[in-house]
Structure 1
Amino acid sequence: MRPDPERFVLGFAGLALSSRKFDLESLQTGSTNQTELSAGTVAALAIVVPPLPVQKRVVEVIDAIDDQIVALTAEANALEGVYRGGSSLLWRTAGGEEAAPRSLGDVMRLEVTRIPMREGTTYRLAGVLNAGQGLVDKNEFDGADTEYTAMNVLRENQVVMRKLTAWEGPITVVPASFDGFVASSEFPTFVLASDVFPAWMKHVCRTPRLWAEMQSRVVGTVQRRKRLNPDQLLSVELPIPSRAEQEQAAEALDAIEEQVGVIRAEADALSRARSRMLMGLLNQTLKIESTELEA
């Protein structure tokens, strides 16, 4: 089905339909795994059709915003590539060579604090994301609403991992914003030694090098049920530079990470503004200038 070129400027119909995504989804037929939308259903959908010059200007404005979003996304992706390449700094001394390997058991120790789950007490549950991407807030709950009698409590600058599916890299350093959150016994915690910079360890948790070491140590017969126990994590050996060298590497990677975050936030904000602007232009609550209309 093609839009009538005498009624629609190229691209305008697509924008108009994209703004009605919820309506289109509600009109789909079929099963959960396979749905379809008939051409007749789409054709019957009512949309506001402004004059062709206005349509043209709407498409131009939205295309310009889309180009900017694409450019910002490409810039962020490129910086993430720089970050991945720069992760080799984590293992290097000031002289540029790889530091001597040490076992993680030399630089951190298992330390699990259990707290009882009490009725009438509110707790916040944390989950550990894959690939060292940090923690996720899984909302609060009452102690009476869980089957656990006790749970592990997380503290700032501890290392926490998920034992299950450890080859996916579910390990990170607890930030201040998650201090006091709880997790099940599947999430053991570790305290770093004084010669390990927590921000350095945060970046280490994002490296495929660590994940590969974790993967090689998992135990179990069923792939999705394989676990990595704390003592197996502590047996991992990695190059560990001096604390001062760790701080320098972490500072460089933090700067890249921060810039990526700024750019992605800008792209997200622009995307939200695009949605609002498109809706306003389509329902004509926003007016758009058109030199062709004025002529």
Structure 2
Amino acid sequence: MTLDVNAVEVDPARTYDIVGMLNRGRGLLHRGMMAGSETAYKTLNRIGSNQVVYSRLKAFEGAITVAPADLDEVYASQEFPTFTCGPSLLPGYFRLLTTTKRLWDRLQNLSTGMGGRRERVKPNDFLTISIALPPVTEQRRIVDVMQAVDTQVIALEEETRRCGETVKRLRIDLLDGYDAQFALGEVAEVKLGRMLSKDRATGDNQAPYIRNANVQWDGLDLTDLKTMSFPAADRVKYDLKAGDILACEGGDPGRCVLLSEDLDGIFFQKAIHRIRASEVVAPDFLYEALVWAYDTGRTADLCTSTTIKHLTAEKYRTLRIPIPDTADQARISALLSDARSGFLASRAEIALLRVFRTTLLTALLSQEIEISESYDDLLEKVS
């Protein structure tokens, strides 16, 4: 591999298709068209098809990829050096390496410092990284096998996306048939959590708490909980029970999750709303109603119009939602639960397939698994 940068002088009279870089080897990020007159850069790097490219500034995050073979004319700043693979290295093979933690770790080791002081990864240092380099014929087999797996991953991701859209449309169709005559504050308690402070982060009575990052559409992530001080009285005040709904106040306002069990000893901070249903509405239906409000833009309409959107408790309590009779609540919740089961099954299958992909690629790169030379005959027949 050699450094191969095609620096092009910026023409103020023309436009350029600008790209950036996704982390963890996920490819190029298309940022859109930019007029030459809008940039202070004197030159831009044109990225060629099948070229290796990385972000000097974000290399420690795994911001590296191999450009697609069918890449259109795109450009990036000088922060994105490009390299051309030599005859002994297939671009497709190196593209697989860019998706491995081993390469990300090596890039991180080359990028020293913290935050804004972090050093950029220099091209000469990048070229010192050693990689496993089997013969080209073996590289080709590995690329072909992994291509088949990746095709399956992409197909399953699309199927999951369609399942999610089906559930969303069904929810909207079901709830749009009712008048949104109730304010959320009339049918549920809406409460923000405990304010985080420097003293509370290090004080006595430390306990884990839920923050925005833990509340995801696919469930509650309890793998990375921060702690702060929660005295005895506040542990009662900010407790979490089965049936409670946790919703984000900022970041992605209204993103929410329904608790299926009590979270003993875990509490929530001020960036989170706890919605606790009254006797007039079932918690599972209230959750569906809040997701409906999010999907239809009703929640966004209540957010503050600052750069970072926030959903205050006062505003959230005014959210209008439909509350049908008990029988209809149960019927709608059951229909949506059944529809969501297919979506959840598809998502679980994707997770398993991604684990399989990582395991298989690791085994192929380490030669723990070897592909027979007879596979070449099959490649010739289908090529």
In the alignment, is the contact (CA less than 8 A) between 2:193 and 2:270 conserved in 1? no
Partner in structure 1 of residue 351 of structure 2: 268
Partner in structure 2 of residue 59 of structure 1: 143
Which of 261, 284, 287 is equivalent to 2:367?
A: 284
Partner in structure 1 of residue 182 of structure 2: 102
The alpha-carbon distance between structure 1 residues 58 and 32, as it changes in their structure 2 partners (threshold 3 A), is farther
Question: 146-155 vs 205-214, which deviates more?
Answer: 205-214
Structure 2 residues without counterparts, runs of 5 or longer: 1-82, 195-199, 379-383
Rounded to whole Å, the distance in 2 between the matches of 1:131 and 1:49 is 40
Identity %: 18
Superposed, 1:242-257 pairs within 5 Å as: 242-257=325-340
1:167, CA displacement in angstroms?
Answer: 7.7
Partner in structure 2 of residue 175 of structure 1: 260
Superposed, 1:75-114 pairs within 5 Å as: 75-92=159-176, 97-99=177-179, 101-109=181-189
In the alignment, is the contact (CA less than 8 A) between 2:245 and 2:275 conserved in 1? yes
Which of 264, 276, 285 is equivalent to 1:200?
A: 285
Q: Cα deviation per residue 1:188-214 (whole Å; 9 max; x = unaligned)? A: 645423342211211222234588555
1:146, CA displacement in angstroms?
Answer: 1.7
Partner in structure 1 of residue 40 of structure 2: none
The letter of the residue matching 1:252 is L
The alpha-carbon distance between structure 1 residues 176 and 55, as it changes in their structure 2 partners (threshold 3 A), is same
The alpha-carbon distance between structure 1 residues 285 and 233, as it changes in their structure 2 partners (threshold 3 A), is closer
The alpha-carbon distance between structure 1 residues 158 and 179, as it changes in their structure 2 partners (threshold 3 A), is farther
In the alignment, is the contact (CA less than 8 A) between 2:209 and 2:268 conserved in 1? yes
Which of 236, 242, 267 is equivalent to 1:156?
A: 242
- Give the RMSD, CA atoms, in angstroms: 4.0
Question: 272-281 vs 71-80, which deviates more?
Answer: 272-281
Rounded to whole Å, the distance in 2 between the matches of 1:139 and 1:131 is 14
TM-score (norm: length of structure 2) = 0.59
Higher RCO, Cα 8 Å, sep 6+: 1
Rounded to whole Å, the distance in 1 between the matches of 2:90 and 2:331 is 55
1:67, CA displacement in angstroms?
Answer: 0.7
1:173, CA displacement in angstroms?
Answer: 3.6
Question: 284-293 vs 131-140, which deviates more?
Answer: 131-140
The letter of the residue matching 2:161 is N
TM-score (norm: length of structure 1) = 0.74
Rounded to whole Å, the distance in 2 between the matches of 1:191 and 1:78 is 31
1:102, CA displacement in angstroms?
Answer: 2.4
Structure with the largest fraction of helix? 1
Which of 225, 230, 234 is equivalent to 1:139?
A: 225
Q: Cα deviation per residue 1:149-194 (whole Å; 9 max; x = unaligned)? A: 72411222134455x5498115544331535532246656454233
In the alignment, is the contact (CA less than 8 A) between 2:180 and 2:320 conserved in 1? no
SS in structure 1 at match of 2:84: coil
Rounded to whole Å, the distance in 2 between the matches of 1:61 and 1:217 is 50
Rounded to whole Å, the distance in 1 between the matches of 2:191 and 2:96 is 55
The alpha-carbon distance between structure 1 residues 55 and 206, as it changes in their structure 2 partners (threshold 3 A), is same
In the alignment, is the contact (CA less than 8 A) between 1:128 and 1:171 conserved in 2? no
The alpha-carbon distance between structure 1 residues 131 and 270, as it changes in their structure 2 partners (threshold 3 A), is closer
Partner in structure 1 of residue 89 of structure 2: 8
